[in-house]
Amino acid sequence: MHKPYRRKILATLLIALLPCLAAAESGAIKKWVDADGVTHYGTSIPPEYVSKEHTELNQRGIEVKHVDRARTPEEIAREKELEKLRKAQQQAIADQRAKDRILLNMFRTEDDLIMLRDGKLAQMNAQLKLKQAYVERLKKRLTNWQAAAAAREREGKKPTAKQLENLQTIQQQLESAYSSIVEKEAAKRQITNQYTYELNRFRQLRSGFRASSADDIEAPRETPTVIPVAGAFVCQDNAQCDRLWGYAKTWTKDHSGTPIEVIGERILVTKVPSKPEEVSLTVSRLSRDGVERLFLDINCHKSVSGKELCATEPVQALRDKFVQAMEAASSKPGAALSNK
């Protein structure tokens, strides 16, 4: 290549590079990549690439600033939400540590927790015994009123309005008493679950455990709307209870060791056991706070032998069998269940 021609090319390149050299002297060389992937250098970035990723170089060509592309509104929203979650998580960890400190300050040993739990359960059991004794008194009154009404019928007379009113009142009182029993049984289960957690947490803390991450935060212990109780089947709605009520009465009659004594609109009572080997059952339809339940109660002879029989696994299992039978029946077509 001839020297004159070479000099001409060099001069052209120098002229083209003058703006970049001037920018380099002031430290303002910018570098960006266009839509075709071609890298460009210059003192300013074209408007269409200002929001794209680019860098600035110093006089020696070393990167001194890096500008990421502009984030989309969706990305900004996600980042804000992520930051909120991080702050919430840190607050949850702090809250958990506060709960843990309270737990350690309140109790010195596991026995302290166990004594408190057992005390609450004993109090609940005492209340249950009072309710159960009240139920027994109501059943006796119901039996007496039923016998008086039956005596009038044998004489060819109809029960008096007062007798019918008393029968209905006692049945309503029984329903209320059984609802209270179910609620107290549910409260016992809540107490047991709460202190099971407290004991496990207390043991962890005593061994040096400390909440430091999301995994160490106590999972929310939401109280279910209806707590499962032995012998209580929770209906989905009134219609389901209507459909199952006849079947529940039939099941109770078939599994009771004594004959039926009283059948009411919402209760069926079999005769109190007269022998230690007899078991009587009562089924009631309970309604409380918009929840409908079918509840099976077990009664045994008041003798020592009768109490021992009541504590056996086959007798206690009747409650679970009743609930299972209701669950199975609830999946059958409506025509399969009749009010017997």
pLDDT surpassing 70 at residue 7: no
Task: Report the SS3 class of residue 202.
Answer: helix
Which stretches of the chain are DSSP H helices? 3-26, 73-106, 110-154, 161-206, 238-255, 304-310, 313-330
pLDDT surpassing 90 at residue 1: no
Among 194-198, 285-289, 292-296, 321-325, where is mean pLDDT lowest?
285-289
pLDDT tens for residues 229-244? 899 999 998 999 999 9
Identify the domain containing residue 276 by its residue range.
232-336
**Residue at 211 is within a domain:** yes
The rounded distance, in Å, linking the Cα atoms of 5 and 308 is 119
**Residue at 80 is within a domain:** no
Phi, psi of 28 (to 5 degrees): -125, 35
**Residue at 17 is within a domain:** yes
Which of 151, 182, 216 is a domain's end point?
Answer: 216
- ∠68-70-75 over CA atoms, to 5°? 110
Domain count, the chain: 3
Task: Report the SS3 class of residue 71.
Answer: coil
pLDDT surpassing 60 at residue 327: yes
Confidence tier at 2 by pLDDT (50, 70, 90): low
**Residue at 209 is within a domain:** yes
pLDDT tens for residues 201-218? 899 888 888 777 777 776
**Residue at 134 is within a domain:** yes
Better-predicted residue by pLDDT, 196 or 148: 196
What's residue 295's pLDDT?
Answer: 94
Which of 189, 216, 243 is a domain's end point?
Answer: 216
The rounded distance, in Å, linking the Cα atoms of 184 and 229 is 10
Evaluate if pTM is beyond 0.75: no
- Mark whether 160 and 187 lie in a shared domain: yes
Residue 178: other Cβ atoms inside 10 A: 28
The rounded distance, in Å, linking the Cα atoms of 285 and 104 is 45
What's residue 284's pLDDT?
Answer: 92
The rounded distance, in Å, linking the Cα atoms of 29 and 241 is 81
Which of 216, 244, 265 is a domain's end point?
Answer: 216
